[in-house]
Amino acid sequence: MLGWLFDGYELGLFPLIGRDALWNMLGATGNEAAVGAWYGWITACFLVGAAVGGTLFGFLGDRIGRVRAMGISILTYSLVTGIGYFVRTPLQLGAIRAISSLGMGGQWSLGVALVMECWPENWRPILAGVMGAASNIGFLLVGFVALAGVTRSHWRWMMLVAALPSLLVIFVLGFTPESQRWREASKGEKQPLLREVFGPHLLSRTLLGIAFASIALIGTWGSVQWLPTWADQIAGASNHSAKAFTSLLSSVGAIFGALGAPFVGARFGRRPAYFLLCLSSFTLCAILFHFVHSYGPVFLFFAFAVGGSTATFYGWFPLYFPEIFPTRVRATAQGTCFNSGRLLAAVGAVAGGQLVGYFGNSYARAGSVVTLVYLVGMVVIWLAPETKGNPLPD
């Protein structure tokens, strides 16, 4: 949970400092269109790195154990982000974000595999919610930290704070027990993991998992992650706290959303739950982007509601993904699905950045287009198997 919490800090860092950092580094050559384009590309670099890291560290987790691989992933995302204090150009910032995201991408698949394999079946909905909420507590944490002041000349200190989770590795390696399920499964003959994940027996589930993750991540990274930046734009340069308050309320909503989603899945089934998550996310995003035009209480209310609805998927994934893959490839398969979704979300982030410029620097109009992706999820989910009540496959 702590590893995924600080992972959430990493996820929420750039939406809070990105616009100020880019204006600072672009200097006299900067304008809103250039900032939006760089923002999209750097977000894409982060997502591509996370996709690669998710598969890489998922593979390590299935080979050397969940705990050791998790320790390496935490060191990667924390220390490299700390080095970001010294960047001087948008290109350097993009490189730091891409490298640090290797470790960030691995944390999810490793943490979910470890937790779900170590606890009894009847605890899975609660634990899925806790895992989903942990990242959003990290989002909340970065919003609180940002209240200390993030401006165009005062943002680098946030990168140094992000290096502190490296101390967590001592606890992870020293006190966290390894998964007994993994120990038993790893005794057999070693097979090429990716070949099995994309083999005939698991291919359909892998492709569906990629689709489900892509839909949620495109919606998040192509539009919802822009909310602090949009708030910063419409609130004006004199209101430096607008982006922090937007991030805080969105994160609080996300905590409730991620905690609640697994219970919806446990009550109604995994497939109806995903359908309802897509429906609510599409509806709330449409209202926000089409009808809210100024920063204020209404904007902040919908930032809370949209943050809660679109984050529900991150409580649903830890419940559903472990139920469709066997133990011997679970970390690799989960990492591949979730982080392949990040590859497509990277395309969504770049497209979102380009749409901002196309629509005359309107983050709202760009977001209203990107969040149409939730309509796709309402259809695709019915192609997947229902796993409610089933034990984890060995």
Q: What is the DSSP string of 11-35?
A: HHHHHHHHHHHHHHHHGGG--HHHH
The CA–CA distances, whole Å, from 237 to 145, 232, 233, 240, 246 equal 20, 7, 8, 7, 15
Distance CA 231, CA 139 (A): 16
Q: Evaluate whether residue 42 is within a structural domain.
A: yes
Per-residue confidence (pLDDT) for residue 97, from 0 to 100: 92
Q: Which domain holds residue 187?
A: 2-383
Q: What is the mean pLDDT of residues 357-366?
A: 82
Instruction: Provide the number of structural domains found in the chain.
Output: 1
Q: What percent of the chain has pLDDT over 90?
A: 27
Residue whose structure tokens are 């590893």: 3
Per-residue confidence (pLDDT) for residue 237, from 0 to 100: 67
Q: Evaluate whether residue 389 is within a structural domain.
A: no
Residues with Cβ < 8 Å from 140, sequence gap 6 or more?
248, 251, 252, 255
Q: How far apart are the first and last CA of the chain?
A: 24
Q: Evaluate whether residue 175 is within a structural domain.
A: yes
Q: Evaluate whether residue 77 is within a structural domain.
A: yes
Q: Evaluate whether residue 366 is within a structural domain.
A: yes
Largest pairwise CA distance in the chain = 63
CA-based torsion, 194, 196, 200, 206: positive or negative: negative
Q: What angle do CA 173, 174, 178 make, to 5 degrees?
A: 60
Per-residue confidence (pLDDT) for residue 386, from 0 to 100: 94
User: Where residue 42 sits, what CATH number does that domain have?
Assistant: 1.20.1250.20
Q: Is 154 helix (H, G, I), strand (E, B) or coil?
A: strand
Per-residue confidence (pLDDT) for residue 288, from 0 to 100: 92
Residue whose structure tokens are 């170590």: 118
What digits encode the pLDDT tens for the residues 8-51? 888 888 888 888 899 999 887 778 788 878 888 888 888 888 88
Q: Is 151 helix (H, G, I), strand (E, B) or coil?
A: strand
Q: Evaluate whether residue 108 is within a structural domain.
A: yes
Q: DSSP code of 188?
A: S
The CA–CA distances, whole Å, from 236 to 8, 242, 311, 379 equal 27, 9, 27, 40
Q: Evaluate whether residue 206 is within a structural domain.
A: yes
- From 331, 353, 374, select the one nearest 217 (Cα to Cα): 374
Q: Evaluate whether residue 392 is within a structural domain.
A: no
Q: What is the mean pLDDT of residues 244-268?
A: 88
pLDDT above 70 for 323: yes
Per-residue confidence (pLDDT) for residue 191, from 0 to 100: 58
Torsion angle, CA of 109/15/347/217, rounded to 10 degrees?
40
Q: What is the mean pLDDT of residues 249-277?
A: 91
